[in-house]
A and B are shown apart, each in its own frame.
Chain A
Amino acid sequence: MSRSRFCGSHEHDMNRRAFLGATGAAGVSLAADMTQLNALAAPGVNDALKKTQKRVILLWLAGGASQLETWDPKPGASTGGPFRAIKTDVPGVAISELMPKMAQRMKNTCILRGLDTKNGDHGSAAITMMRGRRNEAALRYPDLGAVLAREMARADSKVPDYVSFYTQTEGRGMAPGDSGFLGARYAPMDLTTSNYPEFIKRLADISDLDHKERSDLRDVLGKQFVAGRSSDTMNSQNEAYERVRGIMSSEKLFDVTQEPQKVRDRYGPTQFAEQVLIARRLVEAGVPFVRVGRAWWDSHGQNFETHQEMVPELDHVMATLIDDLKERGLLDDVMIVTLSEFGRTPGINASLGRDHFASAWSSTITGCGIKGGSVYGKTDDKGNKVVAEQVDAGSLFATIYEALGINPEKNYYVGSRPIPLVNPGIHAIKEVLK
C-alpha cells in the first residue's frame, strides 16, 4: 500500500525520537517544513512509534446507540425490532444485519455485552463514561483522552496530545473533553465548528520568519527572569510556547485533502468518515488520543429508521478504519473503542422509539492488547438485563488501560492524596485481554 507523502520522497524517513528531539537550534528549517511530519507516516517510523506508544481512537456515539440494532441483536423477541441478526466471521457470534461489513471483521473486535452503568441521564452519564467513574463533589477526574495524553505524550510533543471532534450539535455541551485535575496541559484540542483547529494557523499579517523570530525574542527576553526562579507553572508556560511551532506544523494532519482520493473514497464522503480518516492521520503521526463524536443517536422516536440510516455508516467507517490500520501495520498499536453514554431500552415506546437504558448495553474494543473475536457479557432473551459477565464503567476503563499496557492501579496525586486511574477494587476483564 503506498502511503501519502506531502513531498513524495523517502528522504525524510527518520526516527521519531530524533525528529521530536530536534528542537530549538534546528527550529528555523524544521518547524516551517511540513515535510518533516510526513516522516512519521513512513514505514520505518511506524515501527519505532509502535514500540513506544499506543494510541486510541474513540468513536463516541453520542445520545446512546442501540445495542439491539448493533452488537447485541434479539431477533424474534418482542423487544427485537424489525432487523435480523447475521453470522459473523467468529463462529457463534451474531450481530445486527445493519453491520454486514463489521460481521466480516469481528475476529479483530471484542464485544462487551454486559454493560450496566446505572445512569440514564445524558449529561452525568456522558461524564461517567468518558472517565470510567463519577466525578466527586470536589474532584474532577481526567477523562480517557486526558489520561492517554498524560501517559503517552512527550513533554515536547510536536503534535496535539488529545484531539476531540464533536461538530454536531446534539449533546455537545454535555460531554466536553475534560482533563479534570490533570490541568490545562492535557486539555483536549476541541474541534466543534470545523475539522480545523483554532489558532493553528499563523495570522496573515505576520510572516513565518517574523513569527519564528518573535518567539525567539520572547525566549531571550524571558531568560533573565527565569534564571534564579523556579516554578512548575512557569515551566509549563515556556513548554507551551515551545510547542506552538510544532503544533502549527501539524496543521496539515487536519487537512483531509492531503489524503489520496482513493483513500478518501474508501472512507466515504460523510463528515463522520472524514473525521475518522483525520483521526487515523493523527494517530499515525503520534497523537495519543482522538475522539470522534457522532451524534443524533438519541432515538426516542423512530428508532428503527434512525438506526437504519446511521448504523450502516458506522459499520462502513469502522470496518474501513480497521482495514486501513491493519494495512499500515498499526492495529496492534491503535485501539478503536465504540462507546456511548448508555444504550437504549429493549422496550419500544409509542413513538416507535427506544429510550435511555443503562442496565444492559454494549461497547466494543478493537486492537492493541484486546482479544479479537471475544464476546464478554450476556443479556437475557429480551435484553432487559445482564445475566452473566456484567461490566461497569470502571472495569471497562481498567480493561482499556490494561490492554494499552497502562497499569490501572497507577496513582496520580492531588496534593498528598493518591488517585488511582480506576477506583480501588476495580479490575480489568482478563478474559478479553490477549
Chain B
Amino acid sequence: MRLRLLLTAAICTLAANIVSADDLAPASKPIPQVIDQYIDAAIAEAGATPAGQADDATLIRRLTLDLVGRIPTTTEVDEYVKSKDSDKRTKLVDRLIASPGFARHQAALFEAMFNPDGNGRGSSGGFRQYMTDAVRENKPWDKIFREVVLADETDAKLKGAAEFIKGRVNDADKLTNDVSVAFFGVNVSCAQCHNHPLVMDWTQDHFYGMKMFLARTFENGGFLGERGYGTIKYKPTKGAERTAKMMFLTGTVIEESSKEPTPAEMKQEKEALDKAKTAKTAPPAPKFSARGKLVEVALKDANADFFAKNIVNRMWHRYFAAGLVNPLDQMHSENRPTHPELLSWLARDVAANGYDLKRLTRGLVLSKAYSRSSKYESSLPDSKLFAVAKLKPMTPNQLATSLKIAATDPASFEGKKPEELEKLLEQAENAGRGFASLISQPTDNFQIGVGEALLFSNGDRIMREFLTDGGGSALGRVKLMKEPKEAAEFLVKTAYGRPATAEEVKAITAYVEKRQGREAEAYRQVMWALVTSPEFRFSY
C-alpha cells in the first residue's frame, strides 16, 4: 500500500511538474520563439551544428504538403519564391490554414490517428466528416474530446463523432486502450494482464480503472447506450480478486455509490431499451454517466496534463515527423521527453489558449526549427535534436493528389480565382482517391514494400490515371515543345517545383534522344522516373 501511494505521487509529479512552471519561458512569448529557444539551446548544448534554413521552394512544398496535403502548383511556388514580402511565410501559412484543403487534410490525419491499426473500424465516413467540420470551425480539442467520448447520437451534427466509440463498443479492452492512446498518449494494454513489466507507472489498477469508465457502454438497436451501474472484477497476478474502481491515469479515483439494480429496475430498463429499439432512437442516458466522469476528471486541474501534453506531442509529431515523446503512446515517467521544458511550455500554452489547434499549428510551422533543410552534408547530429528536418513519407492521399497535380498542365492552374483553384485542387484530390486506397498509410518506422514498387512499375492505373498525355495534362503540353531541353526543364519543374539541374537535363535529354520517333512514349517514362523517385515520394 505504501508503494502504491508512492507510485501515485510519482505519477502526479510526472504529470504536473517535471519542470516547474517558474522555470519556463514566459507565457506571453510567441510559440515559434519559444520553440527555437529550447531547440537551439539543446543543439548548442550537444555541440551540434543545425542544418541551414530550407530554401523558399522547399519550404512552400513542405508547408503545402503538411497543411493542405498536396504539393503546391508551380504558380504557387513561383509567386512565393519571387515575393519580396518579408512577411510572406506568415501570409502563406495563414492562407493555407484558412483554405478548405486544410480541414480535409487535417481530418484525414486525425482519422488515421484515431485508427492507428488501419482503416476506420466500421466507419461510414461520418467520423471523417465530423473531423472535417471540426477542423474547419477550429473546434477546441477539449470539445472534440468531449464530443467523441460522450458520443451523443441524438444530435445529427455529432453523430459522426460517435463512430469512434461505436466501432469499438464490442471490445471494451480495445476501447479502453484506444481512448487512452488517442487522448492521453498512454498505452495501458500491457497492464491488462499484469502490472507493466517495465513501466512502474502502469498497474492493472490503471487498466481496469480506465476500463470502468468505458465498459458500461453498449449498443442497442444501432445506437450507443450506457448503463448507470456495472462493475469489473479482475484477478491480479498476486493476491485476491479485486473490484475495479473508476480511476484515471493519475490515480484520481471517482467514488460512486453504484448499486446493482433491483429486478424491477432491470425490467424497467429492458422495456426502455426495447422501446428505444422499436422507435429507432438512442436509449435513455443514465443519471450517472461513467464516460461523462472520464471527460470531467481528465480535464480537471493537474490531471489535464496528460491531455494537453498528448495533443501537443501529436501535433509536434505531425510537423516534425517525430514526437517530443516517442513513441506517441508511451507517455510515462520512464520515457522522458527529448525537450521536457518545451513540452511543458507548449502544453501549458495550448491549455491556456482554449486548446486552439490552429493557433498551435501556426506556431509550430512558423518556427525556424520547422523550416530547417533536410539536407546535411557531414555526419548527422542526433535526430532527437531536431537539428535537421526529417523526411516524411507522403500519406496515400498526399501522394495521389500530388501525382494528379504533377500530371496536370500547370497552365490549368494559372490565373484562376482562389475559389476556382480550390475547386480544381479538390477535384484532383477526389480523382486520386481510388489510387490512394492502394497505398499504405505511413506509421513510425514506415517501410515501403516491394508491393508499392511493383504497383508503380507494372500496374496500369498509374499510366492510365496519371501519366496520360491528353489535353490539359503536363505530358500533353510537352508534345508541343520542340526542344528536349525545354521539355526536361518543364517536367522537372512540374514534378519537383524547382528548376532542373544540368545533370538532370542531360540525363533526360539523353533518354529522350535515344528514343527518336517515339518521344511521347519517352516523356511518359521520364515522368514515371520523376514521380517514383524519393524526391517526389517524400515531404522533405
A243 touches B453 (CB 8 A): yes
A221 touches B533 (CB 8 A): yes
B525 touches A217 (CB 8 A): yes
From A189, A214, A224, A230, give the contact of B529 (CB < 8 A).
A214
CA distance A200 to B187 in the complex (A): 40
Interface size band for B: 35 or more
B451 touches A237 (CB 8 A): no
Within 8 Å of chain A (Cβ to Cβ): is B329? yes
CA distance A247 to B335 in the complex (A): 42
B452 touches A221 (CB 8 A): no
Contact bitstring B441-459, A, C-beta under 8 A = 1, else 0: 0111111111111110111
Q: Which one of A132-140, A166-174, A303-311 is at the B interface?
A: A132-140
Contacts of B103 in A (CB 8 A): none
Within 8 Å of chain A (Cβ to Cβ): is B241? no
CA distance A38 to B340 in the complex (A): 58
A217 touches B529 (CB 8 A): yes
Within 8 Å of chain A (Cβ to Cβ): is B94? no
A199 touches B455 (CB 8 A): yes
A226 touches B534 (CB 8 A): yes
From B189, B375, B463, give the contact of A139 (CB < 8 A).
B189
From B440, B446, B454, B535, give the contact of A200 (CB < 8 A).
B454
Minimum CB–CB distance from A113 to chain B (whole Å) comes to 28
Within 8 Å of chain B (Cβ to Cβ): is A91? no
B181 touches A237 (CB 8 A): no
CA distance A31 to B194 in the complex (A): 52
CA distance A186 to B445 in the complex (A): 13
From A186, A199, A213, A233, give the contact of B391 (CB < 8 A).
A233
The chain B residue sitting closest to A234, CB to CB, is B534
Within 8 Å of chain B (Cβ to Cβ): is A206? yes
Contacts of B503 in A (CB 8 A): 220, 224
Contacts of A247 in B (CB 8 A): 450, 454
Contacts of A410 in B (CB 8 A): none
B448 touches A236 (CB 8 A): yes
Minimum CB–CB distance from B227 to chain A (whole Å) comes to 22
A201 touches B458 (CB 8 A): yes
Q: Which one of B151-159, B172-180, B243-251, B290-298 is at the A interface?
A: B172-180
Contacts of A269 in B (CB 8 A): none
From 2 to 24 in chain A, residues with beta carbon under 8 angstroms from any chain B beta carbon are: none
B507 touches A221 (CB 8 A): yes
Within 8 Å of chain B (Cβ to Cβ): is A203? yes
Given A203-B458, A233-B442, A415-B330, CB of A184 within 8 Å of CB of B380: no
A233 touches B189 (CB 8 A): no
From B116, B445, B460, give the contact of A138 (CB < 8 A).
B116
CA distance A244 to B449 in the complex (A): 10
CA distance A240 to B439 in the complex (A): 14
Within 8 Å of chain A (Cβ to Cβ): is B374? yes
CA distance A273 to B442 in the complex (A): 38
The chain B residue sitting closest to A185, CB to CB, is B447
Contacts of A338 in B (CB 8 A): none
A221 touches B460 (CB 8 A): no
Given A184-B448, A214-B528, A229-B540, CB of A202 within 8 Å of CB of B458: yes
Within 8 Å of chain A (Cβ to Cβ): is B45? no
CA distance A189 to B451 in the complex (A): 8
Within 8 Å of chain A (Cβ to Cβ): is B288? no
Within 8 Å of chain B (Cβ to Cβ): is A198? yes
From 485 to 540 in chain B, residues with beta carbon under 8 angstroms from any chain A beta carbon are: 501, 503-504, 507-508, 511, 515, 521, 525-526, 528-530, 532-535, 537-538, 540
Within 8 Å of chain A (Cβ to Cβ): is B256? no
Contacts of A236 in B (CB 8 A): 446-449
B525 touches A184 (CB 8 A): no
B459 touches A214 (CB 8 A): no
Within 8 Å of chain A (Cβ to Cβ): is B483? no
CA distance A220 to B533 in the complex (A): 9
CA distance A121 to B449 in the complex (A): 31
Contacts of B450 in A (CB 8 A): 160, 185, 240, 243-244, 247
CA distance A414 to B329 in the complex (A): 12
CA distance A414 to B198 in the complex (A): 14
A217 touches B463 (CB 8 A): no
Q: Which of B443, B533, B540 has the most CB of A within 10 A?
A: B533
Minimum CB–CB distance from B491 to chain A (whole Å) comes to 10
B507 touches A231 (CB 8 A): no
A184 touches B451 (CB 8 A): yes
Within 8 Å of chain A (Cβ to Cβ): is B314? no
From B178, B449, B533, B540, give the contact of A185 (CB < 8 A).
B449
B533 touches A198 (CB 8 A): no
A and B contact pairs by CB, cutoff 8 A, 23 listed: A137-B174, A137-B177, A137-B189, A138-B116, A184-B440, A184-B448, A184-B451, A202-B457, A215-B529, A217-B508, A218-B532, A224-B503, A230-B380, A233-B391, A234-B534, A236-B449, A237-B393, A240-B452, A241-B457, A243-B450, A415-B326, A415-B444, A417-B330
- Beyond the given A185-B447, A199-B458, could you list 13 further A-B residue pairs with CB under 8 A, ordered by the A residue number? A184-B446, A184-B451, A202-B457, A203-B460, A215-B529, A217-B511, A217-B526, A220-B503, A222-B533, A224-B503, A229-B391, A237-B448, A241-B457
Give B residues with C-beta under 8 Å from A: 116-117, 173-174, 176-178, 181, 187, 189-190, 192, 198, 326-327, 329-330, 335, 374-377, 380, 390-391, 393, 440, 442-455, 457-460, 463, 501, 503-504, 507-508, 511, 515, 521, 525-526, 528-530, 532-535, 537-538, 540
Give A residues with C-beta under 8 Å from B: 136-140, 160, 183-187, 189, 198-203, 205-206, 210-211, 213-215, 217-218, 220-222, 224-226, 228-234, 236-238, 240-241, 243-244, 247-248, 414-417
